Chain A
Amino acid sequence: DSGVTQTPKHLITATGQRVTLRCSPRSGDLSVYWYQQSLDQGLQFLIQYYNGEERAKGNILERFSAQQFPDLHSELNLSSLELGDSALYFCASSVGDTKDRVSVNFGPGTRLTVT
């Protein structure tokens, strides 16, 4: 158990809809990351937050947005959903404050199915 929790575990929704995925980092971790895993694209980095501030950005679509709250939990919002957004979405966390504590631990994921 990595200590990273994600809800919901599964989500089925229709095209055009909006969903919110939630993540709680491991206790003591300040950085939160979001990754998308699909069959054809592998594990793709979306975005990183550190203590509430955006720290790094990947190929995150404009329809997607994320934030990290003062209690360090994070939410990933996906809007105007398309069939191609169907994927596993992973949240991960790390201590993130120094270059010596860099290990990134992944949560169990949210499986999103867009119909």
Chain B
Amino acid sequence: GENVEQHPSTLSVQEGDSAVIKCTYSDSASNYFPWYKQELGKGPQLIIDIRSNVGEKKDQRIAVTLNKTAKHFSLHITETQPEDSAVYFCAASKISGGYNKLIFGAGTRLAVHP
């Protein structure tokens, strides 16, 4: 069935370093890959997403890369700041005719130390 694996489960970095979170999906028909940031006591917040016809997308300090052949996608955060500390979730979905069933990874708890 549909499955998304996410690594690592925890990540600790020093402020200013880069952080990389990796995900692998099982359904080759998946065509939409969003990333969410969840802070304590809040709902997941969409931070960046990528479609299957794009290999890379950047938004300021955040970038996502997609390797369709290997069914891998990754989140890269550069120049990390303490406020980047949160749980990050990757997800994959097969968008079709309004159908959009996001399958989430288990999450990565990122801690950025000053």
Instruction: Let me know if A45 and B101 touch, CB within 8 A.
Output: yes
Q: Which one, B36, B97, B106, contacts A106 given CB within 8 A?
A: B36
Q: Which one, B95, B96, B103, B107, contacts A45 given CB within 8 A?
A: B103
Instruction: Let me know if A31 and B44 touch, CB within 8 A.
Output: no
Instruction: Let me know if B100 and A108 touch, CB within 8 A.
Output: no
The 8 closest A-B pairs by CB, nearest first: A106-B43, A43-B104, A56-B101, A106-B44, A108-B43, A50-B98, A42-B106, A109-B43
Q: Which positions in A face B, CB cutoff 8 Å?
A: 2, 4, 31, 33, 42-45, 48, 50, 55-56, 58, 90, 92, 94, 96-99, 102-109
**Nearest Cβ on chain B to A34's Cβ, whole angstroms:** 12
Between A and B, how many residue pairs show CB distances below 8 Å?
66
Distance A102 CA – B91 CA, assembled complex (angstroms): 13
Residues of A within 8 A of B29 (CB): none
Distance A55 CA – B100 CA, assembled complex (angstroms): 8
- Considering the complex, give the chain B residue whose CB is closest to the CB of A41: B106
Distance A90 CA – B89 CA, assembled complex (angstroms): 15
Chain B's interface size range is: 20 to 34
**Nearest Cβ on chain A to B32's Cβ, whole angstroms:** 6
Residues of B within 8 A of A31 (CB): 98, 100
Given contacts A31-B100, A104-B102, contact A43 B95 (CB under 8 A): no
Distance A55 CA – B102 CA, assembled complex (angstroms): 13
Q: Which one, A42, A43, A55, contacts B98 given CB within 8 A?
A: A55
Most buried by B among A44, A55, A98, A99: A99
Asked whether any CB of chain A lies closer than 8 Å to the CB of B45, the reply is yes
Q: Which one, B44, B91, B97, B100, contacts A94 given CB within 8 A?
A: B100
Residues of A within 8 A of B89 (CB): 43
Could you list 14 examples of A-B contacts with CB < 8 Å? A2-B43, A42-B105, A43-B89, A43-B107, A45-B102, A48-B101, A55-B100, A56-B101, A90-B44, A92-B43, A94-B100, A103-B34, A106-B45, A109-B42
